[in-house]
Structure 1
Amino acid sequence: MVNIDDFVKRLEVILDYYGLNASAFADKIGVQRSSMSHLLSGRNKPSLDFVLKIAEVFPDVDLYWILNGKGSFPKKEEISKNNETEIIAEIEKTSPPLPVTDTSASGDLFSGFNSNEDIKEEKRNFLETKSSGVPSNEDEIGKIVFFYKNGTFKVYVP
C-alpha cells in the first residue's frame, strides 16, 4: 500500500526539480488540475493511470521511487555486472600501466622517465646534426619563426 503523505512529498520533490507548479504539472501529464489539487491535499489517492503518466512524461522518475520511496530520483542508469567488467577490461586494454619507480629517495618526480642512456643518445643526435654543416635534401627548412620579447612573432617561409 502506498503511503499518501510520503507520495505527496515525493511528488513535490518532482515539482521542485522540474520547476513546475501543480497546474503546469497537471497540464503536462494530461490530468485535470482539480485531481492534482485533490491529490496534493491528501483528499484522493493516486491512480495507476496518474503514476504511469508521470513515468511516461518524466523518464527521470523511477516508478519504484515514487510509489515506495526506495531507489533514487532522478533515475540513475544501472550498470550490470557484466557490462561493468567489460568496461574495466576495456580500460585496462587501452591504458598501459605506468612504470613504478621509487622517487621518494631522490625527490625527483621525473627521474624514472629518462634514463642516462636516453639523455646521452639525445645529446649525440643533437651534436651530429649540429656538426654536419651542410643540410641534406631531407633537412629543408619549412619555416622560420622569430619570437620577440614584446610577445609578438614573425613567420618566414622560404
Structure 2
Amino acid sequence: MTETVNDRINAVLKHTGLKKYQFALKTGISNTFMSDVTLGKQKPSCVMLCGIANSFPKVDMNWVLTGSGEMLRKETPSNEENFCSNDLTVVVRTVELALQKAKINPSPDKRANLIAAAYDLYIHSNKPENTQPLIRLIASSAGG
C-alpha cells in the first residue's frame, strides 16, 4: 500500500506518463504547487483532487484519498452515471463550508481525512441532497 496521499498522487503521475507541468495543467494547479506536492512539502488541495477526478476518470479517488483498494477502477464510469468527480466536488464544497462555518482550519492531513470520510459517508448515504447532517458531522469531527 502506498503510504501517504502525496505518494499516491506520485503513483498516479507515474501511471499517466505525464510530466509534472502537464499533470499540473490538467488538474488546474500551478507547477510550483505540483512540485511541492510530489516532494511532500504540501498536501494536495481540493482543486487538485477535483482536477484528478475530472481529468483521470479511471483513477479511484477513494484510493487516492485513503489508500484503500486499487489505483484504477475496474470499469470507466459512463457519462450517464453520477460520476465520482461530481460527487467529490459536492463533498469538498460541503467540507469547506462546514469548516468555514465552524471557523476551523485543520491541518492538511486532517482536512484530507475529513474529505475522505465525508466522501465515504456521502456515497454510502445514497448521495443525499440535504448535506446539513454531513456539515454538522464534519464540524464536530474537525473540532475534536
More helix by share: 2
TM bin, normalised by shorter chain, reads 0.3 to 0.5
TM-score, normalised to structure 2, is: 0.47
Task: Answer with 1 or 2: which has the greater Rg.
Answer: 1
Higher relative contact order (CA 8 A, sep 6+): 2
TM-score, normalised to structure 1, is: 0.43
